[in-house]
Structure 1
Amino acid sequence: MDAPITILCLASYFKGNAFLRACKEQGCRTILITKEKLRDEAWDWESIDEFFTMPELVKPDILYAVAYLARTRTIDRIIPLDDYDVETAAALREHLRTPGMGDTTARYFRDKLAMRVQARDSGIPVPNFVHVLNYDRLRAFMENTPPPWVFKPRSEAGSVGIKKVDSPEEIWRSLEELGDQQSFYLLEQFIPGPVHHVDAIVSEREVLFNIAHRYGRPPMDVFQTGGVFTTHTMDPSQPETQALFDLNRRVIQALGMVRGVTHAEFIWSEQDGRFYFLEAAARVGGANIDELIQAATGVNMWREWARIELAHLRGEPYTLPAHRQDFAGLILCLARQEHPDLSSYADPEVVWRLHKEHHAGLIVASPSLERVVELLAAYEARFREDFLAVLPPSDKPA
């Protein structure tokens, strides 16, 4: 009898239960390594065969730990459940010579400088940028690119650590504070306009599924100043959505994704009417975007990621399941109440509610995009009145 496939998952944040369940349903043996502080989260224990914790999932400790496990276990695949685990998983694959994304490709999906250089060199439009390294080049950028600018850490997730700056003096002060850490940053042209995200399923370099959404306010604005976060599905038949799909395929090709899931963000410039690539991640979208996609299409991104990995491992073709093309909208905010009461949001289009302390959130879904947009607008005003709390921006994602 063949030994079961063993999947090792890394989780620096609590997420990915659907991935674990999908692996278990297909007869896999699953090992989860997470942080000690996440030990008591609501993990799907029935889908986990071995569970280990560490203070932090960082090198070299994680290399030693996994190599020790591999003395008595055959690890077939290593999967990062969070963005912060992508490079760690790649390093482990390189060290153990396990198939999957290696160090170079992982860098394109984690390092905001590396992904911009690769995209630009592949002819993909990106905002003007400069690596915070050579001061002459930095001065030239600030002289030739009008402020404001966006100051970004290269390897944080999402909008963490990003700030908008208006003058060279602010930049020099920031660099003085950063000291030797300043080369881990880049400075980028600020482009005003709505931000969009495209989530995709990729198998053997081919995009088999993609869906586009438009944020209500840019995530950086919500992260920096607080407020209500919204996003809603775009009409796939519209030219702007098709343009996003085409640009996203070019990004996936340029960054070297072979198989898995991606979450990419693009901004539409109010100045020239073009889409610009902002960033891409080799993971399921955060902030409950996985629930949003499932509400609109029936596709569970976590489950399909597991199916892709296992199909490749078994030498079988991956087939995308049948799915809908409805529309959905997501609304979230920090809440003043420990357990916000969402019972008054009772429209029949409400299909999901968030259960998390000091957070209010729900998803609406409908065959009508107009109805989704209408409900989000009404709910956003009510969320500000009923729940909204504002805290200073954190240096880590929630």
Structure 2
Amino acid sequence: MLTILCVSSYEKGHDFMKEAKAQGCRVLLLTSKSLENADWPRESIDDIFYIPDKNKDWNMKDVIYGVSYLARTEKIDRIVALDDFDVERAAALREHLRIGGMGDTTARYFRDKLAMRMRAKEVGIPVPEFEHVLNYNKINDFIKRVPFPYMVKPRLLAGSYGLKKVHNEQELWDRINFLGDEQSFFLMERFVPGNIYHVDSIVYNYEVKYAVASRYGTPPFEVAHQGRVFTSRTLNPNDIKSKQVLELNKQLLKALGLKQGVSHSEYIESSEDGKFYFLETSARVGGANLSVLVEAATGINLWREWAKIEILNGEKDYQIPTPKNYYAGIITSLAKQQWPDLSVYNDPEVYWRLKKEYHAGIIVTSPDEKRRDELVEQYTQRFYSDFFATAKMGERPSD
């Protein structure tokens, strides 16, 4: 029997564990002590082990000691990181225990925004001009060459955490000085205005077996830091923009060396020159319920397909399920009500409703792209009047 150790500091990956168990695996979960009472799919988990945490941060020495102790009696065949913050932890465990899978070097390409940009640039994939926040002479040279505004980004945080838009030299140096000894963990890049696309991929033996391109409504940075309703829509695979971004995504994942698994990557279509630029990638299922968006449009559950791939491990052929060709859209927002009433959003195209305190969320799906667009636009406006609330985003997920 194959034993899979799932590593997840946040509550993620229920369907992965359910599928792994259904495929006959022994499923172990390593998670945060603060999630001891979370609603894990315990019927699909053979044993759960808890790591002491402070706002989901773990001491890696505790992790290595704990898993090494576990390995005295458990033959661990696979180690899988279910959340972005756990990719490096899982890689470190694989390296230490000498278990196959993504090691430290490749993991850096999927976690470190500086490493992934440098590699993309090396192979000719367009990226906005960037500079490591490290050497002040190089920073001053960047200021002379590249016009403001810039985005100052953390290298290792996920989503929009820690992002800061600066409009002039004074704001930039204020931000750098604020970061203090943390500044080398940041990069700065030219802000490129435009539409942001995301591509959710399934990869097996270094080949993208399936990918879905979608486009955000308001860019996630504005949603997180300025307060907006979040939306995204899957694209027609025959659309020229969809084809362009899917091809760029293939080139990227090949260059970064993803052997197997899933990936969520983001690209921007510049409103200045019409070109696509790479923004960031990951070796995980996309957050913000985007995996449900993909499933609504295609019928393909990314978590479950990922589990199948980990079990096959390149030793047997992998066949993607036949996708359906629907169009899906997601609308989510912070809500002023503790438990928003979404029952009045009752069109037959409603596929999913979010059940989370002080949040509202809907996914719609239809074989008709225009009908999907109509519902997303209507629901977005209704969300602003029915539910919308905003809150300042912290520097880190624990804030």
2:196–2:268 Cα contact (<8 Å) kept: yes
User: Over residues 141-186 of structure 1, what are the superposed CA-to-partner deviations in whole Å (9 max), with x where a residue is unaligned?
Assistant: 1121111100000000011111110111112122222222111100
Aligned partner of 2:383 in structure 1 is 383
User: Over residues 10-38 of structure 1, what are the superposed CA-to-partner deviations in whole Å (9 max), with x where a residue is unaligned?
Assistant: 11111100000001001111110111111
2:382 aligned partner, one-letter code:
R
**Is structure 2 residue 41 aligned with structure 1 residue 47?**
no
Aligned partner of 1:321 in structure 2 is 321
User: Over residues 246-291 of structure 1, what are the superposed CA-to-partner deviations in whole Å (9 max), with x where a residue is unaligned?
Assistant: 0000110111100000000000000000000000000000000111
Aligned partner of 1:347 in structure 2 is 347
Please give the alpha-carbon distance, in whole angstroms, between the structure 1 residues aligned to 2:300 and 2:50.
Answer: 31
Please give the alpha-carbon distance, in whole angstroms, between the structure 2 residues aligned to 1:329 and 1:393.
Answer: 24
- 5 Å-filtered alignment, 1:200-239, equals 200-239=201-240
2:310 aligned partner, one-letter code:
E
Please give the alpha-carbon distance, in whole angstroms, between the structure 2 residues aligned to 1:370 and 1:214.
Answer: 15
**Is structure 2 residue 16 aligned with structure 1 residue 15?**
no
Deviation at 1:396, TM superposition (A): 3.6
| Number of aligned residue pairs | 394
Please give the alpha-carbon distance, in whole angstroms, between the structure 2 residues aligned to 1:94 and 1:108.
Answer: 16
Aligned partner of 2:129 in structure 1 is 128
In structure 2, runs of 5+ residues without a counterpart are none
SS in 2 for 1:52: strand
Please give the alpha-carbon distance, in whole angstroms, between the structure 2 residues aligned to 1:40 and 1:225.
Answer: 33
Aligned partner of 2:366 in structure 1 is 366
User: Identity of aligned pairs, percent?
Assistant: 52
2:126–2:278 Cα contact (<8 Å) kept: yes
Please give the alpha-carbon distance, in whole angstroms, between the structure 2 residues aligned to 1:344 and 1:262.
Answer: 35
SS in 1 for 2:281: strand
Ranges of 4+ aligned residues in structure 1 off by more than 6 Å: none
**Is structure 2 residue 312 aligned with structure 1 residue 311?**
yes
**Is structure 2 residue 38 aligned with structure 1 residue 37?**
no
Aligned partner of 1:246 in structure 2 is 247
What's the TM-score, normalizing by structure 2?
A: 0.97
2:256 aligned partner, one-letter code:
L
User: Over residues 25-60 of structure 1, what are the superposed CA-to-partner deviations in whole Å (9 max), with x where a residue is unaligned?
Assistant: 011111101111111111101001011111233311
Deviation at 1:397, TM superposition (A): 4.3
2:213–2:237 Cα contact (<8 Å) kept: yes
User: Over residues 301-354 of structure 1, what are the superposed CA-to-partner deviations in whole Å (9 max), with x where a residue is unaligned?
Assistant: 0000000011127x3211111111211000100001110001111111001000
1:395 aligned partner, one-letter code:
E
Please give the alpha-carbon distance, in whole angstroms, between the structure 2 residues aligned to 1:260 and 1:341.
Answer: 36
1:18–1:302 Cα contact (<8 Å) kept: yes
Please give the alpha-carbon distance, in whole angstroms, between the structure 2 residues aligned to 1:279 and 1:198.
Answer: 11
User: Over residues 37-92 of structure 1, what are the superposed CA-to-partner deviations in whole Å (9 max), with x where a residue is unaligned?
Assistant: 11111110100101111123331111111001001110000000100000100000
Please give the alpha-carbon distance, in whole angstroms, between the structure 2 residues aligned to 1:60 and 1:36.
Answer: 16
Deviation at 1:224, TM superposition (A): 0.7
SS in 2 for 1:137: helix
Please report the RMSD computed on the Cα atoms of aligned residues, expressed in angstroms: 1.0
SS in 2 for 1:383: helix
Please give the alpha-carbon distance, in whole angstroms, between the structure 1 residues aligned to 2:130 and 2:264.
Answer: 21
